[in-house]
Amino acid sequence: MHIHKYERIWLVAGLAMLAFFIAVIATGAVVDGFVPPSRVQTIDPTKVAQTPPFDHPGLRKVADGAYEAYYVAQIFSFNPATISIPVGSRVTFYVTSSDVEHGFSIPETGVNTMVTPGWVSSVSHTFNKPGTFLLICNEYCGAGHQLMASKVEVK
Ligand code: CUA
């Protein structure tokens, strides 16, 4: 089979780039120890329902105006389904998944993280505007993905 010279050059260049990009990812993963974004700790994804504090997901007040919210993401819902906080509260969200990869995003805020089984993702936000904020899954996770949502009420 005859392959034109230019075509061969492009094939080699394409394969070289592919090899280079894979090497960059592999180096990041192995040498630099890259892990899922904003992780603070690991968890056994098969024992989420038995592992504190995720055995009792929900909102905890840690100080005046400061809260921690523990969420379990699972197909196709978030637990808790709703949290209510006063205006001006700073909330640190801790999220883990008991099944597959999910997303955790509150549009209009900076809250947006991946939720990877085996890891606890964490992100903080101060809610200075009253209203009901939709918290959605923005990683496709299956047939009911578009139903996966929860609410943050700020009053
Ligand atoms: Cu969970 Cu999409």
Q: Can you give the pTM of this predicted structure?
A: 0.79
CA angle 22, 24, 26 (to 5 degrees): 65
User: Number of helices and strands (H, E) in the chain?
Assistant: 1, 11
Task: Give the nearest ligand 1 atom to 100 CA.
Answer: 1
User: Residue-wise pLDDT tens for the chain (155 aa)?
Assistant: 788 999 999 999 999 999 999 999 888 888 877 766 665 688 998 999 899 999 999 999 999 999 999 999 999 999 999 999 999 999 999 999 999 999 999 998 989 999 999 999 999 999 999 999 999 999 999 999 999 999 999 99
Q: How far does residue 2's CA lie from ligand 1's centre (Å)?
A: 48
